[in-house]
Amino acid sequence: MRYVFLFPLLLLPPLPASAQEDGPRCDPSHQMGINFCAYEEWMAADAELNRLWRVVKPRADARGSGQALLNEQRAWLARRDATCEPEQRSGGSAAPMFYWNCMEELTLRRNAELRAMR
């Protein structure tokens, strides 16, 4: 009789053994984890950049300087990417960390500039 009650449990989909997600994580104990930490830090800076842009751009539009600001932002993005690109091509397992650190540093500087425009 016990087996009759256990049989429906076999039809359930398997549950993961732990709550861990697949994929990379920020883990400073190895280079891949450090690279991912740098990426996550840049992502946070980039999210702030986008948040600030949504505040600053409409104000610039209202003053009639929105197109100039948009052109400036596009030029800044191109300069940032061109500045950091050599870091990515430098080779080695730490190259992604250097690239994302560069992207974060320049993005944080731009965030400060946009904050001053608010």
Q: Which CATH number belongs to the domain containing residue 43 in this structure?
A: 1.20.1270.180
Range of the domain at 54: 30-117
Tens of pLDDT, residue by residue over 87-112, are 988 889 999 999 999 999 999 999 99
Let me know if residue 21 belongs to a domain.
Answer: no
Tens of pLDDT, residue by residue over 43-58, are 999 999 999 999 999 9
User: pLDDT tier at 24 (50, 70, 90 boundaries)?
Assistant: low
Tokens of 73: 């932002």
Per-residue pLDDT averaged across 64-80, rounded?
Answer: 98
95-117 and 66-89 are packed helices; what angle lies between their axes, rounded to 10 degrees? 160
Q: What is the pLDDT of residue 90?
A: 83
Tokens of 40: 């996550």
Let me know if residue 22 belongs to a domain.
Answer: no
Q: How many domains would you assign to the chain?
A: 1
Calculate what percentage of the chain has a pLDDT beyond 70: 80
